[in-house]
Structure 1
């Protein structure tokens, strides 16, 4: 189905002898809309509507005044050269740290150089 609450992953029954055709992917709560509150440190960010209908959102990640923001991207699935994940240092977006597209399956870490705020959209 095309519902954010009914995400299923097909299993290849030819190579694995399983007692079922499909199994439910790990339970992940997918938000229906962009968050209205600041993200809390250590929490996962999942795009609303993922994986069927992505909704563009902007996230402000902030830490204590004399700290730097560390953002770890565990995985990214974006249409190559169509959808992008932009990571900026600060709130204004003048200092682009990364512009990601396509599939990323290995964790990557992005750290602000001097600001305690990171904008991700």
Structure 2
């Protein structure tokens, strides 16, 4: 499905993503695991990650595609954290950026970017 209309996406290697999820706990929105690519992807509001430069993180926006599995799908692409039946299916970009900075060891910067040391 295309990014940039209903959401953008933030993608991270699965190993680091599990640490981010453990840190965020119930504050994480739904997350898609792709076992073929060994990644986890969060959906975030459109254009809220513009300007992010975070080592090891891929930000996907307008013109890019992601695979969104149906709920309760049990293949190599599945929901690691299921979307709610009703409510917001997007992750807070501020909370996600803070968790990424903590897990990846990068300082959080006021200009909206997180950079490696």
Q: Report the TM range for the smaller structure's normalisation.
A: under 0.3
Counting helix residues as a fraction of each chain, which structure ranks higher? 2
Counting strand residues as a fraction of each chain, which structure ranks higher? 1
Whose RCO is larger (CA < 8 A, sep 6+)? 2
TM-score, structure 1 as length reference: 0.24
Structure number with greater Rg is 1
TM-score, structure 2 as length reference: 0.24
